[in-house]
Amino acid sequence: MLDIRFIRENPDIVKNACRVKNFPDVVDDILALDIRVRELKTITQTKTAEKNKISREIPTAADKAPLIAKSKKISEEIANDLAELTNKESTLNDLLHRVPQIPDASAPVGADDSANVEIRRIGTPRTFDFTPRPQWDLLEMNGWWMPEKIAGICGTRVYALAGEAAELSLAIQTYVIQKLISKGFKYIECPSISKPQTIFNAGHFMGSDLSVMNNDVFMLADTDRCLTGTAEIVLNSLHADEILSENDLPIKYAGFSPCFRKEAGAAGRDTRGIVRVHQFNKVEQYVFCTPEQSDEMHEHLLNNLCEIMEDLELPYRVIANSTGDMGFNKVKMNDVEAWFPSENAYRELGSCSSIGQFQARRTNTRYRENATGEVKFVATLNNTGIALPRALVPVIENHQNADGSVNIPKKLQPLMGGRTKIGGKH
């Protein structure tokens, strides 16, 4: 969320953020409520002081009845004012949680992903001398999955990898974790169960009504818990209500967790194969830093994912996401998209996001500045390390052979027992 003082002093900037991010403009309502809330606070303080003064006068007054009556009347007025104040503060709080983060000036302005801008393209999509198979054919012919059986057991939009594909998926995950550890990230195995408030505090949803998450989040019936869709949720709250030392920043985490998403808004898309499923595994890069370190950390996280694409020997491109495509809580966002031969297109494998102090205000995560001793909110950033099984798709499609076998990228071969190829007729 944004600081109310920033909204007071920069209403036009906030209004423009609402416009370019395609969210309702509630700035005027916020400012009007803010005035009334501050007014009510002053009124109740003044009346309380007056009531206290009368209370001190009553014991020594010759005629107590008028003072008692006046005190009672003021008490009733204070009660009414406090009731209005509570109501107005609740409404104001909800509206403040509906204001999007201010996008960076460098972000392309546009309504949706059609306004995204390609920054760079690395590698050349492979020209096959045979007709390449899509992911589901490779998985099927090699006995690497069992979609009908799992759908009968577990329902649709879930998967089970088997044999060498499962080994390869684990090797990719392990390689990425080891790479991030070597770059100074602290590895954390994160729980996939959290409180709904923890998800809300990550700032992906608008308003203060937690039921807004129900279309996207699996709630655990008869409990106060839910399943998380990314390790970011837990990592974001690790230092809630703490005051960190500036000397400790940046703090870099590599969080792994199974992830669960309803994907309710994606019905009809990617229902075949393993690109978009209800449960998947993800390694998440997450950083706490000073606001001044944010741009440097953004490039660091982005470059890590780009290196991973190159280690997996995948053609890829980097996208600058438009204001209308970057979401509610982001300052700027870069998608990294790998080449999917079966679709003859690039598809997103990770999103690098600068959040500014938006999440930290919700979790009250702060640091003490060395130079001044002042306590300020930290900045946070996140980026995918790897998401599986989605990332497995371009790996097996780009590295396939005519017989259905798949060449293993060189960086992964030590984790695959030295094998250079899986599947097919070898």
Q: Which residues of the chain have pLDDT under 70?
A: 264-270, 426
Out of 50, 84, 246, 348, which one is annotated catalytic? 348
Please report which helix (H) or strand (E) contains residue 363, including its range: helix 358-363
Q: How far apart are CA 84 and CA 94, in angstroms?
A: 15
List beta partners, residue 400: 406
The first and second tokens of residue 388, run together, are 């599986």
Residue 207: the pLDDT is 80
Which domains, from first to last, does the chain contain? 4-96 (1.10.287.40), 113-423 (3.30.930.10)
pLDDT digits (tens, 9 = 90+) for 386-414: 999 999 999 999 999 999 999 999 999 99
Residue 95: the pLDDT is 95
Residue 212: the pLDDT is 84
120 is catalytic: no
Residue 270: the pLDDT is 64
CA count, 13 A, side-chain hemisphere, 395: 32
List beta partners, residue 379: 289
* 3-state secondary structure at position 311: helix
Residue 205: the pLDDT is 85
For the entire predicted model, the pTM comes to: 0.92
Q: Look-up: residue for tokens 């998967």?
A: 159
Residue 264: the pLDDT is 62
Q: What is the DSSP letter of 416?
A: G
Chain center to CA of 93? 21
What value, to the nearest 5°, has the Cα angle with vertex 204 and ends 229 and 216? 45
Out of 71, 257, 294, 351, which one is annotated catalytic? 351
Residue 55: the pLDDT is 92
- Residues 6 or more apart whose CB falls under 8 angstroms from that of 331 comprise 101, 102, 103, 104, 107, 294, 353, 354, 355, 356, 358
Q: How far apart are CA 231 and CA 282, in angstroms?
A: 8
* 3-state secondary structure at position 318: strand
Residue 265: the pLDDT is 55
368 is catalytic: no
What value, to the nearest 5°, has the Cα angle with vertex 203 and ends 197 and 204? 100
Out of 366, 390, 397, 405, which one is annotated catalytic? 390
pLDDT digits (tens, 9 = 90+) for 44-95: 999 999 999 999 999 988 888 989 999 999 999 999 999 999 999 999 999 9
Contact 283, 180 (CB under 8 A): yes
Residue 357: the pLDDT is 97
Q: How far apart are CA 77 and CA 299, in angstroms?
A: 56
Contact 335, 358 (CB under 8 A): no
Out of 36, 121, 225, 276, which one is annotated catalytic? 276
Task: Please give the full DSSP string across 366-412, using - where no structure is assigned.
Answer: EEE-TTT--EEEPEEEEEEEEEETTTHHHHHHHTB-TTSEEEPPGGG
CA count, 13 A, side-chain hemisphere, 260: 15
Out of 261, 317, 362, 366, which one is annotated catalytic? 261
The first and second tokens of residue 332, run together, are 């700027």
Task: Please give the full DSSP string across 136-198, using - where no structure is assigned.
Answer: HHHHHHTT-B-HHHHHHHH-SS---B-HHHHHHHHHHHHHHHHHHHHTTPEEEE--SEE-HHH
Contact 378, 365 (CB under 8 A): yes
Residue 61: the pLDDT is 85
* 3-state secondary structure at position 355: strand
Q: What is the DSSP letter of 328?
A: S
269 is catalytic: no
Residue 214: the pLDDT is 86
